[in-house]
Chains A and B, each alone.
Chain A
Amino acid sequence: MRTDQTWSRVLHVDLESGRSHVLQFGSRAEHLGGSGLAAALYSRYGLLDAPALDPRQPLIFAVGPLTGLFPLMSKTVCGFRSPYTGEWAESHAGGRLALSLRFAGYDALMVTGAARGLSALIVGARTVDLHDVAYLRGADVFSTGKYLRRFGRESSGHRSCIRIGPAGEQGISYACINVDSFRHFGRLGAGAVMGAKNLKGIVVLGDGSYRLPEGKAYPKLMRELYKDITGTDKMRKYHDLGTPANLTALNGLNALPWNNLQKTTDERIDGISGETFADRFLLRQTACAGCPVGCIHIGLLRQQFASDHEFLYKQVSYDYESIFSQGTMLGLTDGSDVLALLDETEKLGLDCMSSGVALAWVAEAVEKGVITERETLVPIRFGEVQGFMEALRHIAMGSNEFYRTLGTGALKAADVYGGAEYACVLGQEMAGYATGEVFFVAQAYGFRHSHLDSGGYAWDQSSKEKDARKAVDFLVDDEYKRILINCMVSCMFARATYGPERIAECLASVGLTDLADGLETAGRAVQALRWKLKFDTGFDVDAVRIPKRYTEVVTWKGAIDTTYMDAVRTTYAAAIRELAASGQPMSGSEDA
Chain B
Amino acid sequence: MKVLRAGRMERCIGCHSCSLACARLVHGRLSWNTAGIRIASAGGLSTGFEAHLCVACDPAPCAAACPSGSLVQRAGGGVTVDRDLCIRCGKCASACPVDAIYMDPEEQYPYLCLHCGRCVAFCPHGCIALEDVDARRPGSRGGDVDGEVPDAY
Q: Classify the secondary structure of B's interface with A.
A: loop
Are A219 and B153 CB-contacts (below 8 A) given A210-B30, A210-B31? no
Chain A residue, CB-CB nearest to B125: A294
Q: Does A304 contact B (CB under 8 A)?
A: no
- Chosen A-B contacts, 23 in total, with CB atoms closer than 8 Å, are A68-B20, A69-B30, A103-B31, A126-B105, A156-B33, A158-B38, A207-B105, A210-B30, A212-B28, A212-B29, A219-B24, A222-B24, A226-B17, A230-B152, A284-B47, A285-B13, A286-B13, A286-B14, A289-B14, A292-B124, A293-B124, A294-B13, A315-B47
Determine if A158 and B13 form an interchain contact, defined as CB atoms under 8 angstroms apart.
Answer: no
Determine if B32 and A227 form an interchain contact, defined as CB atoms under 8 angstroms apart.
Answer: no
Min CB gap A346→B, angstroms: 16
Determine if A209 and B34 form an interchain contact, defined as CB atoms under 8 angstroms apart.
Answer: yes
| Chain B residues positioned under 8 Å from A283 (CB to CB) | 47
Q: Does A588 contact B (CB under 8 A)?
A: no
A206-243 interface bits toward B, Cβ cutoff 8 Å, 1 = contact, 0 = none: 11111110000001001100110011000000000000
Which residue in B32, B103, B104, B153 is a CB contact (below 8 Å) of A158? B32
| Chain B residues positioned under 8 Å from A293 (CB to CB) | 15, 124
Interface size counted on chain B using CB atoms at 8 A:
32
Docked complex Cα distance between A207 and B153 (Å): 30
Within B7-64, the residues touching A (CB, 8 Å) are: 13-17, 20, 23-25, 28-34, 38-40, 47-48
Q: Does B144 contact A (CB under 8 A)?
A: no
Determine if B32 and A206 form an interchain contact, defined as CB atoms under 8 angstroms apart.
Answer: yes
Docked complex Cα distance between A212 and B23 (Å): 9
Are A231 and B32 CB-contacts (below 8 A) given A285-B13, A286-B14? no
Interfacial residues, chain A to chain B (CB-CB below 8 A): 3, 68-69, 71, 99, 103, 126, 155-158, 206-212, 219, 222-223, 226-227, 230-231, 283-294, 315
Min CB gap B66→A, angstroms: 20
| Chain B residues positioned under 8 Å from A289 (CB to CB) | 14-16, 32
Determine if B30 and A209 form an interchain contact, defined as CB atoms under 8 angstroms apart.
Answer: yes
Docked complex Cα distance between A294 and B17 (Å): 11
| Chain A residues positioned under 8 Å from B25 (CB to CB) | 219
Docked complex Cα distance between A29 and B24 (Å): 26
Docked complex Cα distance between A227 and B30 (Å): 19
Determine if A3 and B30 form an interchain contact, defined as CB atoms under 8 angstroms apart.
Answer: yes
Docked complex Cα distance between A289 and B13 (Å): 9
Q: Does B148 contact A (CB under 8 A)?
A: no
Chain A residue, CB-CB nearest to B107: A209
Are A292 and B17 CB-contacts (below 8 A) given A226-B122, A231-B152, A284-B47? yes
| Chain A residues positioned under 8 Å from B23 (CB to CB) | 209
Chain A residue, CB-CB nearest to B34: A209
Q: Does B106 contact A (CB under 8 A)?
A: yes
Min CB gap B51→A, angstroms: 13
Determine if B106 and A208 form an interchain contact, defined as CB atoms under 8 angstroms apart.
Answer: yes
Docked complex Cα distance between A215 and B14 (Å): 29
| Chain B residues positioned under 8 Å from A209 (CB to CB) | 23, 29-31, 33-34, 104, 106
Additional 16 contacts, C-beta under 8 A, given A158-B38, A284-B13? A3-B30, A155-B105, A157-B33, A209-B23, A210-B30, A210-B31, A211-B30, A212-B28, A227-B152, A230-B151, A231-B151, A284-B48, A289-B14, A290-B17, A292-B13, A294-B15
Determine if A99 and B152 form an interchain contact, defined as CB atoms under 8 angstroms apart.
Answer: no
Determine if A158 and B152 form an interchain contact, defined as CB atoms under 8 angstroms apart.
Answer: no
| Chain B residues positioned under 8 Å from A103 (CB to CB) | 31-33
B138-153 interface bits toward A, Cβ cutoff 8 Å, 1 = contact, 0 = none: 0000000000000111
| Chain A residues positioned under 8 Å from B152 (CB to CB) | 223, 226-227, 230-231
Determine if A230 and B105 form an interchain contact, defined as CB atoms under 8 angstroms apart.
Answer: no
Are A210 and B15 CB-contacts (below 8 A) given A230-B124, A292-B122, A294-B124? no
| Chain B residues positioned under 8 Å from A223 (CB to CB) | 152-153
